[in-house]
A and B are shown apart, each in its own frame.
Chain A
Amino acid sequence: EDKVVQSPLSLVVHEGDTVTLNCSYEVTNFRSLLWYKQEKKAPTFLFMLTSSGIEKKSGRLSSILDKKELFSILNITATQTGDSAVYLCAVEYLIQGAQKLVFGQGTRLTINP
């Protein structure tokens, strides 16, 4: 069965720390992997990754994909309390010619001052 697994499920760190969130997947006909940040309202898009080994970066956030080992990491450096959120990983793949987008269960990140 195709699936997306995120780890850890929950993480509590102090402001200024660096965190690494993991997303592993088992799907056939992979197309892309996406990261979202979900605070109180709707998930908001962070990155879309399609190629292995190419880092995507936005400020203190960065992400990379390993299509051989079937995982992605999301790094946040110099964390701030505003980074507290649930981070969702989603994988797009094709099955029987139709595209599907499946989310992991999310990592709840809490940044303490």
Chain B
Amino acid sequence: GAGVSQSPRYKVTKRGQDVALRCDPISGHVSLYWYRQALGQGPEFLTYFNYEAQQDKSGLPNDRFSAERPEGSISTLTIQRTEQRDSAMYRCASSSTGTHTGELFFGEGSRLTVL
């Protein structure tokens, strides 16, 4: 696609429900990143992939969070048993390079609200 596409753009869910956030990166981009951004803060790293391999998941807050990119393209970030503190903007970004970050292209984000 022309840019990084994320869905849903907005998600409101009740505490305890599972949510899945999708990211469709720019076609051919090697690296895919997930960030979480609270209001007034910079993006906080969660995890990233080179192709289908998850290179680093050290930023995932706990084991309720997981991510996959099975075919090296679309990625899904899953949050199980959501809690109110999970409410945030979740941003995906992709990069054409795998060995040097270079320019990241960000999607418009998925805003998650947990009631």
Contact = CB atoms under 8 A, between A and B. Distances in A.
Interface of A: 4, 6, 31-32, 34, 36, 41-45, 48, 88, 90, 92, 98-106, 108
Interface residues of chain B: helix, strand, loop or mixed (majority): loop
B103 A88 contact: no
A47 to B, nearest CB: 10
A99 B30 CA distance: 14
12 contacts: A6-B42, A31-B100, A41-B108, A42-B108, A43-B106, A92-B101, A98-B55, A98-B56, A100-B45, A101-B104, A105-B42, A106-B42
B108 A101 contact: no
Nearest to B97: A99
B104 A88 contact: no
Interface string B84-112: 00000001000000011111111111000
A45 B101 CA distance: 12
Given A42-B109, A98-B56, A34 B42 contact: no
B42 A101 contact: no
A101 B33 contact: yes
A101 B101 contact: yes
Interface residues of B, number: 23
B43 A103 contact: yes
Contacts of B44: 103
Contact of A100 (B43, B56, B109): B56
B102 to A, nearest CB: 7
Residue picked from A6, A98, A99, most chain B C-beta under 10 Å:
A99
Interface string B26-48: 00000001010000111111000
